[in-house]
Structure 1
């Protein structure tokens, strides 16, 4: 028996990192009796260790709550807990498309942040009813009235009836539930039409196979039904239908407006793509739901095991992770310096960091990560175009007509006193200022920046300059032509492929000099002189020399003619020259790790 449409409320929670989203979700589950007190844990819906430690949500989760409102009627509340970070913007947009409303959670002490803004605007585009919730009102530094004014000034939402709450202390939770019932509209849908459901998310479960999170728009989905994925063009048999309360509960069917999960003996997450439309195989819908797009990796880097013997383990681990996260891609690559590894594509820097951390934690791997690079579009002189993911694959410069690099529009919120340093950072990274406005004691800066300049260490620099007070959000705005060159680092006249990078010509010299100085400190001295050079094509733009270790060959010479000493020194000189020609420079792994982690802190 499916629920009555008028008694269903589908909503998500929008919040910046650490504004109390997961804690509020915990309280809603507890208050509606989703879990008994002894089953509760902190951040129930964040089931990865990394999510709990960092206070971020990586995978969308959903929970179905039963609530008896003050009008005496029973309602079904479907809470979609979405990721907040910009790297997962597409998944957020699909989760929001499955809802009719949203709770906008803002910290009473910190006010509106950049990430909150990006997701609120997405929510407004979906015509959602947005209920402002001002959280953490019991903090000594809380200023709810000021935050209400910020919500009205920045977002343009009426915050006069915002719910004041403290998720940690349990203040205002009933008011939040009442606001959901009264202010968020029920879903629309027609049970007689052919099945149309949106695939909101999917993940791999070792016992059930791929679990698919869906929101039914029209029709209904039952156990034993043959369904078709419209974008993937594949047919599957449903073997389980249910919802999370937050424990798994199986149902006979899900009707219009309902959110739940299905399993259909699918082995790979890649087959169940976020945003796909699910319909009945025998009586399909006429057209799919709008908004589906293939998720494209934005940032690429190489992952290599520190110990070459771990390569097979790394291959298995990446394949297992891919089962659970279809949004990152990988292919094998070899490097003269680092051996066998994988070239991986990610949605952004946080995504890269999370995958790297999960590999080292969950699979106990020690990894070297090459410098992250972005996707460049290269127009060749013969009229063809190609995509460049790895700087080492750059074609001959004489055959290139132009190189286009991806650009982003970044919104930065920063307290007034740090504004000057932030503007300088953006200017140094070739940024174009678009807008600068003031809200309260904070500035909102909008900049257009090349993604290449952001993937290194922009976020870390931003946080250190502003002592952690700046918040940053971005979206891609397409590719633009740039004066870009490939810079190679040569050690003893041999190019080290793992250290090559694509840089803007104006910054090549500074970046090259910095890299050479860094390598000089990291490579141990040998018995012969080692030149370290940064070069663009055949032109050397920076050089450092590691002095040779001197062996005292004249120590055994007592007295006698000075020519004896000179003869020995000449002989040594010849030997060093020959050694330099045939000698191999051993670059320790630590040197690679340190050089590649550095980004550019000049």
Structure 2
């Protein structure tokens, strides 16, 4: 055990974690030249296309130092705020972390929040200053920022360039020297923490775990504590680039387990594996995921509902931060109400459903959770606008607020404060980290952040500002439910819960947008936005009309009037029986309201 080191790499998005992982694997000879490619651990097409890490990946390396061979278990983690749950799970399986900071960008918001996660779990932090070979690198300034942030000595900071392979050996030595070996009792009762799982269509579910106490052998009868299910360990092994079976996985090590589990819901990330004969109690896992954004996902063909359910279950194995439950909608039929960590997460899930499971889905307008207190004194959690009670029964509504940290260059402070004020934000603090870098703290409603706040922030600050947020509790707000009606029928999938001050503006813009998107019918369509019974905006899609007067040349006006009246009657009857088809673009239009 004294020769095992478990560590992860944490950093802000795009500071070079995956490249550093590539170099470490190359240096220790874990991956040979033939298999080597950029971002070797990112095995999803989506990750390669977008150049971001979505899932954390575990891999084992061997490193020889002063005549002794050490086993290093590395977990590469994502950097984007939407995937911070992946990071928290990886941290739970480690004793140390490499904190990577880009020498040209400096310390950014996600660096700080991931660092606090690691410190909260008592990890040993090794600061690494990456990309020192770039012409825009500022090693001295950024070193000062790191010293101020962690309180380490300047000489503790390792200067490296993952691209050029500078400083890689120093990093490996630091991992061996500074990170403590895992603690635990090799002869005690088995306790292993599940921190990831993958669906394999041939062998069932592969569970990835870290042994805290005891040893797990091939053929053992094991039990998952939270679900109470029992299995036989058909195969255990370690994770190299491919899985390598072993006879046993010992205390302190990271490995995988295959036992032919078919049902996705039998594996819970954060669960404990123990022996059936000699069970141990559960390890205190990490807290449950808190979804931030809720949206409905519906199959385009109603008959594909069960296929979508299967796809969601398999996806949830691979992405433990996805939360869902079935729901129905009058406009869209059967589907699921899903909870996501942010808009990027929503986008990735939708794209993965389409690519990996071949499901075409419709996504409704994302919204956040609200608490409604009724006149009877009940408290209700509202996740979708359709759950909202009638306005007469509502005493008051509370919405979630978040603490937002924005780190930016000094010249963009004005526009950023203006943007946050527009989004109903309240500025709490403004700290100059250096003469040119400012940390702004705001309290804002979560509902204002989830749509396009991040995109606007990046646009205003030319990509320099970095954002991080955490929940700060619930506040009372003047929220109303805005309904969209087509010919008097409410389309529940287009409803939204918005602040009263913004309702008129929102309703007007949405009606205008829908007017362009709805195809013209034989009858006219009235598009109305309403709060309760009160209509606040209206647009009309004109009917397609045939010229019935073409055959009347001259003659009496009464003949023309008779033909027009006849046409008018037909249109009226059509409007009563005709239904309005709403195309998928209309549902997406709400997201793109500028």
The TM-score normalised by the length of structure 2 is 0.93
Gaps of 5+ in 2: none
The equivalent residue for 1:32 is 28
The equivalent residue for 2:221 is 226
3-state SS in 2 of match to 1:116: helix
Distance 2:43 2:138 in 1: 32
| CA deviation profile, 1:402-455 (whole Å, cap 9, x unmatched) | 333222222122222322222222212222222221223222222222222222
Please point out which of 78, 82, 89 is paired with 1:94: 89
On the 8 A contact 2:28/2:61 being kept in 1, the answer is yes
Deviation, 1:29, is 0.9
Please point out which of 51, 67, 87 is paired with 2:47: 51
| CA deviation profile, 1:62-97 (whole Å, cap 9, x unmatched) | 11111111x232211111122333333333223212
* Higher deviation after alignment, 116-125 or 154-163: 154-163
2:210 is the counterpart of 1:215: yes
Change (3 A) 1:90 1:330: closer
Deviation, 1:567, is 4.6
2:3 is the counterpart of 1:7: yes
On the 8 A contact 1:414/1:470 being kept in 2, the answer is yes
* Higher deviation after alignment, 431-440 or 169-178: 431-440
Please point out which of 515, 533, 538 is paired with 1:538: 533
Distance 1:312 1:510 in 2: 39
Deviation, 1:308, is 5.5
Distance 1:52 1:476 in 2: 31
3-state SS in 1 of match to 2:156: coil
What pairs with 1:518-529 in structure 2 (closer than 5 Å)?
Answer: 518-529=513-524
3-state SS in 1 of match to 2:373: strand
Change (3 A) 1:230 1:311: closer
3-state SS in 1 of match to 2:105: coil
2:183 is the counterpart of 1:160: no
3-state SS in 1 of match to 2:155: coil
* Higher deviation after alignment, 449-458 or 103-112: 449-458
2:537 is the counterpart of 1:515: no
The equivalent residue for 2:284 is 290
2:542 is the counterpart of 1:559: no
The equivalent residue for 2:271 is 276
Gaps of 5+ in 1: none
Distance 1:205 1:558 in 2: 75
Change (3 A) 1:307 1:273: closer
Deviation, 1:145, is 1.4
On the 8 A contact 2:265/2:313 being kept in 1, the answer is no
Please point out which of 357, 360, 366 is paired with 1:372: 366
The equivalent residue for 2:331 is 337
2:245 is the counterpart of 1:250: yes
3-state SS in 1 of match to 2:389: coil
Deviation, 1:339, is 4.3
The equivalent residue for 1:453 is 448
What pairs with 1:75-86 in structure 2 (closer than 5 Å)?
Answer: 75-86=70-81
Change (3 A) 1:183 1:407: same
* Higher deviation after alignment, 26-35 or 463-472: 463-472
The TM-score normalised by the length of structure 1 is 0.92
Distance 1:256 1:152 in 2: 35
Distance 2:240 2:326 in 1: 41
The equivalent residue for 2:350 is 356
3-state SS in 1 of match to 2:174: helix
On the 8 A contact 1:486/1:500 being kept in 2, the answer is yes
Please point out which of 15, 19, 22 is paired with 1:23: 19
The equivalent residue for 1:146 is 141
Q: Please tell me the root mean square deviation across aligned C-alpha atoms, in Å.
A: 2.4
On the 8 A contact 1:57/1:84 being kept in 2, the answer is yes
The equivalent residue for 2:385 is 391
On the 8 A contact 2:193/2:285 being kept in 1, the answer is no
3-state SS in 2 of match to 1:402: strand
Deviation, 1:489, is 0.4
On the 8 A contact 1:91/1:274 being kept in 2, the answer is no
Distance 2:346 2:385 in 1: 18
3-state SS in 2 of match to 1:45: coil
Please point out which of 468, 475, 488 is paired with 2:470: 475
Distance 1:332 1:188 in 2: 43
On the 8 A contact 1:218/1:257 being kept in 2, the answer is yes
3-state SS in 2 of match to 1:436: strand
The equivalent residue for 1:417 is 411
The equivalent residue for 2:37 is 41
The equivalent residue for 2:426 is 432
On the 8 A contact 1:105/1:134 being kept in 2, the answer is yes
| CA deviation profile, 1:188-235 (whole Å, cap 9, x unmatched) | 222233222222212222233222222222222222223333333333
The equivalent residue for 1:406 is 400
On the 8 A contact 1:553/1:569 being kept in 2, the answer is yes
| CA deviation profile, 1:551-578 (whole Å, cap 9, x unmatched) | 4443333334445444544554455444
- The alignment of Structure 1 onto Structure 2 pairs a total of residues equal to 593
3-state SS in 1 of match to 2:90: helix
* Higher deviation after alignment, 374-383 or 107-116: 374-383
* Higher deviation after alignment, 582-591 or 121-130: 582-591
On the 8 A contact 2:299/2:335 being kept in 1, the answer is yes
Distance 1:263 1:478 in 2: 41
Distance 2:86 2:229 in 1: 21
The equivalent residue for 1:61 is 57
3-state SS in 2 of match to 1:38: coil
Distance 1:389 1:486 in 2: 12
Change (3 A) 1:236 1:142: same
Distance 1:463 1:514 in 2: 24
* Higher deviation after alignment, 433-442 or 297-306: 297-306
Change (3 A) 1:259 1:585: closer
Distance 2:486 2:535 in 1: 12
On the 8 A contact 1:523/1:587 being kept in 2, the answer is yes
